[in-house]
Amino acid sequence: MPASQPRSRARDRNNVLNRAEFLSLNQPLKGNQENRSSSRKQSGQAGAAGAQNANLKERRQSQQLPEEDCMQLNPSFKGIAFNSLLAIDICMSKRLGVCANRASSWGGARSMINLLGITGHGIPWIAGTLICLVKSSTLAGQEVLMNLLLALLLDIMIVAGLQKLAKRKGPYDINPGLLDYLTMDTYAFPAGHASRVAMLSKFFLNHLVLAIPLRILLVLWALCVGFSRVMIGRHHITDVLSGFIFGYLQFRLVELIWMSSNTCQMLISIW
């Protein structure tokens, strides 16, 4: 046994693989192991941080998406009803636009329908009211005409403001005329002609003494002028109906702020 130990030591010394330059072939260095372990830890930490960020993004999206999905895939009953009525309104308005252009079924009557619409325009009514006011010599007539002029001006301003807010276009791509631009009647909702004729007919029925046939003709004139705007493709049906409602409300407003005879005389004298 004592002789074998020196022999084994001599073998280890004579073994080339036990030299320092060949130790890396037999066992890895400690520094390399530490570098590899640290790089693995850093990559693991970066992967964990990326996974956490991804999870946070998914949670935020999961919190936002259900509300958007509910609005798109599960609309409310009011939204469904409103969209259905809007689709019916557009479809019926296009079918009733029989004079929208020359190629329409009633294209030959377009000029006559336009002439009927001019009878409900604001510019001719304002000009006629001013002419009658200049020629009027009675206090009662001047009072009625001054309040009629006030009603016409209010109608133009209110309808123009509502149209600017709504900015709804008509069922057909029809450019407004020159008179429409003068009264700022460039959009569809509400129909300016319909509100004006409704206000005028109610005004005349209340402040003028008319026979029953004339009263009936006055109401028929207002209805024809209103729905003529649908026939030429300028407005929807709901635009005309809302115009009738706004016209009645404007008449009620003028009745509330009715100018007395003294106020009218003062304004006339200033003018």
- The residues annotated with a catalytic role in the active site are 193, 235
C-alpha angle with apex 200: 194 to 203, nearest 5 degrees? 140
- Cβ-based neighbours of 146, under 8 Å, separated by 6 or more: 133, 259, 264, 267, 268
Contacts for 199 with CB less than 8 Å, ≥ 6 apart:
151, 155, 247, 248, 250, 251, 254
Contact assessment for residue 89 and residue 237, using Cβ atoms and an 8 Å cutoff: yes
**CB 233, CB 171: distance < 8 Å:** yes
> In one letter, which amino acid is 9?
R
Dihedral angle over CA of 100, 105, 107, 109, nearest 10:
-110
Using CA atoms of 43, 48, 50, 54 in order, give the dihedral in degrees to the nearest 10: 160
Q: How far apart are alpha carbons 269 and 76 in whole angstroms?
A: 59
Residue 259 in tokens: 């100018």
- The one-letter amino acid code at 80 reads I
The backbone torsions φ and ψ at residue 74, rounded to the nearest 5 degrees and listed phi first, read -125, 70
- Stated length of the chain: 271
Task: Pick the closest to residue 175 from 107, 259, 258, 232 (CA basis).
Answer: 232
